[in-house]
Structure 1
């Protein structure tokens, strides 16, 4: 979905907010006259009555001051203005709102599509069109249907025009009707592609684990294979194979990221499982981001995150791009990504860090992190060329592979905090000290959230949202409704996690809300099932949705104002993936037997 036409103001005095822009904003986001009128009335009650007048600025081509002395007159004007403007602004904005491909949405623009892991170009995991689910109705969510696949489903389902698309760890990919869960088609990935599993994933069958990407202006669905590192395109209506492209020839290469489609092209990163190897074999893989032509699968450019090691051990390796979906800034022509830790570094860099560790006054920032080491970084790349426009290394020196987890002497010189970015940045606008700022925000496995300026990568704020760990910290996907930034905190190492504002302590996972302008923690809620919270969060209309890895597979709906849990349900198996949201329903899979309990199904819950 395009973010063109998004209305945003930094008003130091909210009582002088442009009424026309306010009406346009709510018309654009709610598509519902009753809601518009109610919200407008409440807005004016709160922000205007204390002054008894409303100014319509000259920027709106109006020179009239409206002086209001009685509430009845004010509400009447509000309703009348909405009646006039909603017809115009809603139709104008609905018509002008474009999809990720630069084309119109489906025929019913009030229905939410969820086009990839992050939902749209912004990677916000925000169902901005949802009106049926709210704080009054969320308690009425009930099971609408269950689709049995027979194995784990850990990807957020994509949604387009009433159809869900998702893979299962059984090696199948499915299309099912959102309304009733009936099968549209299914395909076995091995039979479809002829690809054999690499074995690095621990499976002997070809699987996909990430959210399929909908190409909304073509009959295409893009799927990444979890070893080998292949991207395929299917005919969305039938599931038939259109093309297959090998993105990385490395034997341990995999695709764990969900791609993002924009203007005829797919943007997607590569990852690997090489860090699971022994020190004698590790490592040579280098993470990369690629742009592919959606029609043919031709690689248009490919940008590596580390210097060329020529396939030789003892140099830079790692910096995988493995979580979430790239976010795309159409205005700046940027694509934003974030990278994981490096697996290995050259000997001189390792020696530098050993000297640093033994120094009584270590340098800051760490002098051993060379400029072309783009591990643990947030980056902006040019959409057309793939050139790196800026990159910001965050979290310090970090060399890690499996031997470090086992605490052996073969672990490279540390620190070895394994502070991956397990998600791409999401885009949002906010006001920082009264000035509008365009930000990207991402959360690390370290537990830190980072907000950077989209223009140049300057750090705006950072916040320790919660405890970090080898499995997080934050992983797979934060969310924002532009009012707050939300993240999971897995707390995989069961550290003390101090909740706010209560100051209570949990040693389990939880969820956190932060202010977008400065990162201040507004609330944090413990996972009541006493388990990790490893999956991504999703947000819609004042409700934050999240899952738990406990054996019961609990899922939760929280009030975004205070983190209070308003609804829950036990799916019967660990929930590691996230929820997509559309037209009063949430969709979520269960099961992740690689680390937790096995599952079999995809569930649909709808308000009644």
Structure 2
């Protein structure tokens, strides 16, 4: 027992020093990533760490740190940078525990870095085979890791869940999460860990898969439970009470062939007091509701928020944001838990801004809809009926009515995509990386392809975007980014910022009255969280999509950005994403007050338009093959063969690749991620595709010469 005041002061000082040392720098071997449930639940007691994907289980992405604040943020300088191995899309949220940063880059590579200086402590490469690249819609991205009791957990692009020793990076166990390897399943989302169970979903709805979420024992990797999000073969008994309920909302049995969709590819949050796990569910497969379910039924649990018991995987409740979804309006977007006052009464709520353009506030205990209002322009529905909880649909949005192509907003990229939003309890505002866009939708009369690995199958006609730079520029003007400071109690924007390009980064808010965000055009910016005043800006050489984090080491606050351009926007909508005018350079860039480091200069890309073989196809043939190209190749190489700058631009093919064009389409570059299309394309079709690429190269040359 400490008896004297001096001894008590000495003991307190020793204790404070011990605590400071324990959280000051990289942990000693054997104690790295020593995180459990109580530590995450009590995260505000150690705000210098970033222990979970959204910092806390409620996924608010709010930091109590205030050393960097609205009065001194203009003094931020570079603390350190770390170059990632591969220059493709970077979407990870780093985890920082006791001075060590754990993060991921493209191809699911895991990095452990000294959070003070960026020194590499270890690296784990899961050796994903390149041939699986074509099985994902949106590049080989990865949204990060989870940590738990000395281990680091990562989902790999080819569908594995891997546990690593947090001190060494050595593999402890690995499990295959995929139920059917004949389908194009991928994993890009960050695992979450709740009550000793590692939770992971998957992607692949556009390729014809059935969605589900699986829980694995964090210690052993043994499967604990699996929650399917759409029903399986109606000739077989439903796997659960939830699937028995869902089956009543599907018609026919075509969805069995088409997969059904409903993939859980990103968002989750958890309320430890209510013991409810909240899961966001994705779109249908195919998008065309008539192909999928005879045009009938709500198709649960597509585009839904579902509450699950994390102990058993049993269903609690659900709310479907887009019944019978036919627009790719996933509800996989970030979900935030908070306690806010609504009409003078404090409510425990769940908040989401999914793709469909409406901001939802739900009672997170029961799933009751409390409010829903548009946060971006949306013409597919006029409003949400508060009596029924259902959207009131419009004729403009119903492209299945046989009335031709419909220009629908938001587009398939959504009013908000995967980029995380944040909530600041001090301002009461949610900061949404929103975007405005439109898409021309028209159904196929008959399915173009049967479900096939690496072939996107939506049940829609391929967009016939005119090959006219002026029209492309006009469409770009219709697609813009917007940062919204949204009041969820009043359902209105308090302030907003507009960007020329969509696909800007996730947000971080802090107790220092700051809001941080990266942009598609290669900047990182700090705003005053209350007013939106721009306070600080730096260029970082490449587009920023991921959300930043902040942490402390040795009492010094850092702000970290994962930098790297890519994803669905650059792949599919090349003509639009070029407005960002940035190159894919992937790195970790970290700032601190009075930092003296520097960002390495951008690498220039100098390309000459190559000579091409003779163009022999007729104008009529080329018009028809454009649709074929956009359907098969446009989802990676860009519509009309205009790349967004990450996947190779086919207009710059070398002489050697022109000579081997059919071979490349037949699998010659399978080891580089190029799919084999020989099972669905005839040699004559391959030659027409080659002719189209030659034509687009000639178009580019003429445009350059004209300028």
Q: Under a length normalisation based on structure 2, what TM-score does the superposition of the two structures give?
A: 0.59
**Alpha-carbon distance between aligned partners in 2 of 1:546 and 1:107, rounded to the nearest angstrom:** 23
Write the deviation string for residues 87-113 of structure 1: whole angstroms up to 9, x where unpaired: 9xxxxxx9xxx9652248999954422
**Alpha-carbon distance between aligned partners in 2 of 1:170 and 1:343, rounded to the nearest angstrom:** 25
**8 Å Cα contact 1:151/1:601 also seen in 2:** no
**Alpha-carbon distance between aligned partners in 1 of 2:370 and 2:295, rounded to the nearest angstrom:** 29
Q: 2:423 aligns with which of 480, 483, 486?
A: 480
Q: 1:447 to 1:547 in 2, by over 3 A?
A: farther
**Alpha-carbon distance between aligned partners in 1 of 2:261 and 2:439, rounded to the nearest angstrom:** 27
Q: Does 1:213 align with 2:213?
A: no
**Alpha-carbon distance between aligned partners in 1 of 2:283 and 2:203, rounded to the nearest angstrom:** 11
**What secondary structure sits across from 2:436 in the alignment?**
coil
Q: Does 1:602 align with 2:574?
A: no
**8 Å Cα contact 2:41/2:57 also seen in 1:** no
Q: 1:104 to 1:124 in 2, by over 3 A?
A: closer
**What secondary structure sits across from 1:538 in the alignment?**
strand
Which 5+ residue runs of structure 1 have no aligned equivalent? Answer: 1-86, 88-93, 278-282, 354-367, 400-416, 496-504
Q: 1:111 to 1:561 in 2, by over 3 A?
A: closer
Q: Does 1:303 align with 2:227?
A: yes
**Alpha-carbon distance between aligned partners in 2 of 1:209 and 1:120, rounded to the nearest angstrom:** 20
**Alpha-carbon distance between aligned partners in 2 of 1:590 and 1:137, rounded to the nearest angstrom:** 24
**Alpha-carbon distance between aligned partners in 2 of 1:103 and 1:126, rounded to the nearest angstrom:** 17
Q: 1:327 aligns with which of 269, 284, 288?
A: 269
Equivalent residue for 2:525?
556
Q: 2:166 aligns with which of 209, 232, 236?
A: 236
**8 Å Cα contact 2:194/2:310 also seen in 1:** no
Instruction: Please list, as runs of the form range in 1=range in 2, the aligned pairs for 1:41-60 lying within 5 A after superposition.
Output: none
Instruction: Please list, as runs of the form range in 1=range in 2, the aligned pairs for 1:174-573 lying within 5 A after superposition.
Output: 174-190=111-127, 196-197=129-130, 199-201=132-134, 209-215=142-148, 218-226=149-157, 228-250=158-180, 251-272=183-204, 274-275=205-206, 277=207, 283=208, 285-309=209-233, 314-315=255-256, 317-324=260-267, 326-344=268-286, 350-353=293-296, 368-370=297-299, 373-399=300-326, 417-467=327-377, 468-476=410-418, 477-482=420-425, 483-493=428-438, 508-527=480-499, 530-541=500-511, 542-550=513-521, 553-573=522-542
**8 Å Cα contact 2:254/2:291 also seen in 1:** no
Q: 1:375 to 1:198 in 2, by over 3 A?
A: farther
Equivalent residue for 1:585?
558
**8 Å Cα contact 1:422/1:474 also seen in 2:** no
**What secondary structure sits across from 1:490 in the alignment?**
strand
Q: 1:108 to 1:346 in 2, by over 3 A?
A: closer
**Alpha-carbon distance between aligned partners in 1 of 2:437 and 2:519, rounded to the nearest angstrom:** 12
**What secondary structure sits across from 1:222 in the alignment?**
strand
**Alpha-carbon distance between aligned partners in 2 of 1:376 and 1:258, rounded to the nearest angstrom:** 19
**8 Å Cα contact 1:461/1:518 also seen in 2:** no
* Between structures 1 and 2, the one with greater helix share: 2
**What secondary structure sits across from 2:74 in the alignment?**
helix
Write the deviation string for residues 164-201 of structure 1: whole angstroms up to 9, x where unpaired: 111222653211111111111112221xxxx5355244
| Structure 1 residue 346: Cα displacement | 8.1
**8 Å Cα contact 2:107/2:140 also seen in 1:** yes
**Alpha-carbon distance between aligned partners in 1 of 2:276 and 2:211, rounded to the nearest angstrom:** 19
**Alpha-carbon distance between aligned partners in 2 of 1:593 and 1:207, rounded to the nearest angstrom:** 9
**Alpha-carbon distance between aligned partners in 2 of 1:544 and 1:234, rounded to the nearest angstrom:** 33
**Alpha-carbon distance between aligned partners in 2 of 1:350 and 1:147, rounded to the nearest angstrom:** 49
Equivalent residue for 1:15?
none
**Alpha-carbon distance between aligned partners in 2 of 1:346 and 1:463, rounded to the nearest angstrom:** 25
**Alpha-carbon distance between aligned partners in 2 of 1:494 and 1:562, rounded to the nearest angstrom:** 33
**What secondary structure sits across from 2:502 in the alignment?**
coil
**Alpha-carbon distance between aligned partners in 1 of 2:167 and 2:478, rounded to the nearest angstrom:** 47
| Structure 1 residue 489: Cα displacement | 0.7
| Structure 1 residue 262: Cα displacement | 2.7
Q: Under a length normalisation based on structure 1, what TM-score does the superposition of the two structures give?
A: 0.68
Provide the alpha-carbon RMSD of the alignment: 3.0
Q: 1:434 to 1:304 in 2, by over 3 A?
A: same
**Alpha-carbon distance between aligned partners in 2 of 1:510 and 1:565, rounded to the nearest angstrom:** 14
**Alpha-carbon distance between aligned partners in 2 of 1:493 and 1:160, rounded to the nearest angstrom:** 42
**8 Å Cα contact 2:108/2:156 also seen in 1:** no
Q: 1:549 to 1:490 in 2, by over 3 A?
A: same
Which 5+ residue runs of structure 2 have no aligned equivalent? Answer: 1-15, 17-22, 24-33, 237-252, 378-409, 441-476, 571-576, 578-582, 595-707
Q: 1:318 to 1:507 in 2, by over 3 A?
A: closer
**Alpha-carbon distance between aligned partners in 1 of 2:487 and 2:161, rounded to the nearest angstrom:** 37
**8 Å Cα contact 2:108/2:142 also seen in 1:** no
Write the deviation string for residues 11-43 of structure 1: whole angstroms up to 9, x where unpaired: xxxxxxxxxxxxxxxxxxxxxxxxxxxxxxxxx
**Alpha-carbon distance between aligned partners in 1 of 2:550 and 2:83, rounded to the nearest angstrom:** 20
| Structure 1 residue 452: Cα displacement | 0.6
Write the deviation string for residues 106-148 of structure 1: whole angstroms up to 9, x where unpaired: 9995442223332221111111x31212111211111111111
| Structure 1 residue 493: Cα displacement | 4.3
**What secondary structure sits across from 2:70 in the alignment?**
coil
**8 Å Cα contact 2:86/2:106 also seen in 1:** yes
**Alpha-carbon distance between aligned partners in 1 of 2:214 and 2:529, rounded to the nearest angstrom:** 36
**8 Å Cα contact 1:321/1:337 also seen in 2:** yes
**What secondary structure sits across from 1:139 in the alignment?**
helix
**Alpha-carbon distance between aligned partners in 1 of 2:298 and 2:314, rounded to the nearest angstrom:** 21
**Alpha-carbon distance between aligned partners in 2 of 1:452 and 1:105, rounded to the nearest angstrom:** 22
**What secondary structure sits across from 2:62 in the alignment?**
coil
**Alpha-carbon distance between aligned partners in 2 of 1:236 and 1:422, rounded to the nearest angstrom:** 29
**8 Å Cα contact 1:208/1:225 also seen in 2:** no
Which shifted more, 262-271 or 540-549?
Answer: 262-271
